[in-house]
Amino acid sequence: GELDKELNKLTFTGWIDEQSKLILKAQIEKLFENKIVNDFYSAHWTVLAEREILLPDGNILRPDRVLLQGDMAIVIDFKTGKEKPEDAVQVQTYAEQLKKMNYKKVDKYIIYLEAASVVAA
């Protein structure tokens, strides 16, 4: 399917080797067993991927993925490695900015790719 096609592209271009492809495929399939993750990819969200948010002080935030629907938003950050407290702080910073942009309900999630786990932040 679509996952195999994308993973084959990564292998063909040399980004990952065959063994990494199998590991990555298993991790992604495990993630999609999670109902929350499945909803992230449903059609009722407007998706902004790595879109910049310019702050009044000139700094730029770049969340990995933001889902929008009406006055609701979900901010998602993808991480490798182990869970760290500063990961949640980063996602909360993104959420605060979205609230300043008049999104009333903002949910925050961190997806740890290697552990194939989803953490509400």
pLDDT in tens, 16-32: 888 888 888 888 888 88
- Please state the rounded mean pLDDT for residues 57-70: 88
Q: Where are the alpha helices (DSSP H) in 33-84?
A: 35-40
Q: pTM of this prediction? A: 0.76
Query: In 3D, which of 81, 90, 68, 85 has the Cα closest to residue 117?
Result: 81
Q: Which residues, in sequence order, are bridge partners of residue 54?
A: 60
DSSP state of 17: -
